Amino acid sequence: MKKLLVTGSSGLIGSEVCIHFADLGWEIHGIDNNQRAVFFGANGDTRWNESRLRSRIKQFFHHELDIRNRNGVIDLIQTIKPSAIVHTAAQPSHDRAADIPFDDFDTNAVGTFNLLEATRRYSTEIPFVHMSTNKVYGDAPNEIAMTELEKRWDYADPDFANGIAENFRIDQTKHSLFGASKVSADISVQEYGRYFSMPTACLRGGCLTGPNHTGVELHGFLSYLIKCNLEEKPYTVFGYKGKQVRDNIHSYDVARFIEEFIKAPRVAEVYNLGGGKDNTCSIWEAFDLISNISGKEMKYSYSEANRIGDHICYYSDLRKMKEHYPNWQITKPLKIVFQEIYQSWIERNKQ
pLDDT, tens digit, 9 for 90 and up, residues 230-254: 999 999 999 999 999 999 999 999 9
The pLDDT assigned to 94 comes to 79
The pLDDT assigned to 221 comes to 85
Give the number of other Cβ atoms within 10 Å of residue 171's Cβ: 10
Tell me the three state secondary structure of residue 189: helix
Task: Please compute the mean of the pLDDT values over residues 116-136 and round it to a whole number.
Answer: 98
Crossing angle of the two packed helices 111-122 and 70-80, in degrees rounded to 10: 40
Q: What percent of the chain has pLDDT over 70?
A: 99
Q: Count of domains in the chain?
A: 1
Q: How far is 299 from 103, CA to CA, in rounded Å? A: 33
The pLDDT assigned to 312 comes to 97
Task: Please compute the mean of the pLDDT values over residues 269-296 and round it to a whole number.
Answer: 98
Banded pLDDT at 351 (limits 50, 70, 90): low
Least confident of 88-102, 107-121, 191-205, 319-333: 88-102
Q: How far is 48 from 64, CA to CA, in rounded Å? A: 15
Q: How far is 59 from 256, CA to CA, in rounded Å? A: 20
Q: How far is 238 from 304, CA to CA, in rounded Å? A: 6
The pLDDT assigned to 323 comes to 98
Q: How far is 229 from 243, CA to CA, in rounded Å? A: 18
| Model confidence pLDDT, tens digit, residues 127-142 | 999 999 999 999 999 9
> What residues pair up with 246 in beta bridges, in sequence order?
281, 314
| Model confidence pLDDT, tens digit, residues 23-32 | 999 999 999 9
Q: Is the dihedral of CA 129, 134, 135, 140 positive or negative?
A: positive
Q: How far is 315 from 276, CA to CA, in rounded Å? A: 6
| Model confidence pLDDT, tens digit, residues 160-205 | 999 999 999 999 999 999 999 999 999 999 999 999 999 999 999 9
The pLDDT assigned to 218 comes to 64
Q: How far is 328 from 196, CA to CA, in rounded Å? A: 28
Banded pLDDT at 215 (limits 50, 70, 90): confident
Looking up residue 279, the CATH number of its domain turns out to be 3.40.50.720
Task: Please compute the mean of the pLDDT values over residues 312-340 and round it to a whole number.
Answer: 98
Banded pLDDT at 349 (limits 50, 70, 90): confident
Domain extent, residue 179, equals: 3-348
Buried residues in 223-248 as b, exposed as e (16+ CB within 10 A)? bbbbbbbbeeeebebbebbbbbbbbb
Say if CB 83 and CB 2 are below 8 A apart: yes
Residue 129 DSSP code: E
User: CB neighbours of 54 closer than 8 A, spacing ≥ 6?
Assistant: 60, 62
pTM: 0.95
Tell me the three state secondary structure of residue 155: strand
- At residue 350, does pLDDT exceed 80? no
Say if CB 77 and CB 150 are below 8 A apart: no
- At residue 2, does pLDDT exceed 90? yes
Q: What is the mean pLDDT of the chain?
A: 95
